[in-house]
Structure 1
Amino acid sequence: MNSGTPAPDSYYERIDEHRYKPTAHAGGAWDPAELHFSPLGGLVVHAIERQLAQRPGGDGLVMARISYDILGRLALDECEIRVEVVRPGRTIELVEAVVLVADRPVVRARAWFLAAIDTSAVAGGPDERLTPPEELAPWEMSALWPGGYIASVDVRPLAPPRPGRTTAWISTRHALVAGEPSSPLASYLALVDTANGIAVRQPPTAWIYPNVDLTVHLHRQPVGDWAGLDTTVTFGPTGQGLTSTVLHDVNGPVGHALQMLTVRPAPEQ
């Protein structure tokens, strides 16, 4: 990945219809030589939407849930994304995407799409809005975490981050795929996995706690350039942890995200 030339202002570059090459901005936090999952999560949605859009007539469905299982090491290398409609339908549809690196599956994702109809007459739920990001000061998250992805994002906490508890806005100026527009949903989901790094319970130099999955449920489609993450991190007594996040955009809550963590002491250097 180190070619001696500056990385483009994107997380990925397209190779062909199904393959993508990461840039240095996609570098991971636990290991800069690996991928950070956050932009890869957005890329999966980009690939799903791109394939579904090729069907004639469109289907009037919106993504309501996506669940990613991370199967192994995410090498900072080109990947292939294969998309399959598992359960087609006019009002409910299930789509699966598999990410392969060096022909090995590294991520499996399943997304439920539901019919988009007008339910504004009965809409309701928590609607507290976060303090707007333009009123908040940036936080240098790269002082805590290494990697190209963390260095690429604008992080603005509502209050100083506390162990296990932080609410912050996340945004980026980088495109998801060079030269290609991405939907608001794909761009938003390219930021959500950042949640596991904003409310650390223990220094990542002493303990490691990567997530093995990410599940996002949405009751409304996000809009705008900012993802609001109201995040709580819990460590259990037997090596498991949970990062739980209420997701916001500038208009209020949009859903929830959960990440299961594997917690263990950092190896001695």
Structure 2
Amino acid sequence: MKFVRYGQAGAEKPGFIDVDGTLRDLSGEIADLAGATLDPSALAALMDRPAADFPAVDGKPRLGPPVGAIGKYVCIGLNYKDHAREVGAELPKEPVVFLKATSAICGPRDEIVLPRDSETTDWEVELAVVIGRKAKYVDKADALSHVAGYCVTIDVSERSYQNERGGQWTKGKSCDSFGPLGPWLVPASAVKDPQNLGIWLEVDGDRKQFGSTELMVFGVADLIAYLSNFFTLHPGDVIATGTPPGVGHGMDPRQYLRAGHKVECGIDGLGEQQHFVTTD
């Protein structure tokens, strides 16, 4: 079972994709894939039900972000050795933490919209971790028990806003549409090892990024334990765990997104995203 939210932006309904690929509606059972519904035990209870208990959805509606009411979108920078090297940064001794505004979140096939006067918008495919159970001062050994599931995200980044406009990175990371999530939320119980997943991204069919989550500097369990020492992680919070090498900013010459580009990306077992780039 792969959990989704479907429908028009801002009015998505909860659902899931069954083993036959049929979209089924969960709105008669839960209000949203958010809050207490994301507790691993609550997701397991839904998964134990026969798929036929839930009505099939006709057509092919838009898929939105697979998690609702996201409180925090926490990002980790420079978390792959080769990525740190390609952008000329030292390997961090502790996780590099910053926040992306939740207003940047969009669906897995929505347009990526270049902000006004943007010239240096870049791509960063990442494994996203969705918290399902409150986490505060947790140990690494217990950290993964707080995970609802995993999905694909892109930390879209306007590099000049990020690096040349002073202050912190947030304004280069938070433009509308700069946080696509999905297509699905795959429950943690269905992901055997989050540190052994292939991850890739293409622009106009040209593969730019390819790697494996095994090459993270700080793994998922490390990140949850670390972050929970600074602030409480609540159900629905998202952690974007860093990107492998191949970002446009690290190339020679540098490459950036332009209107008309097609961006596709995916992670083993977690599905694929597809976006067309437009201008604001």
What TM-score, normalized by structure 1, do the two folds share?
A: 0.30
Structure with the higher helix share, 1 or 2 = 2
Structure with the higher strand share, 1 or 2 = 1
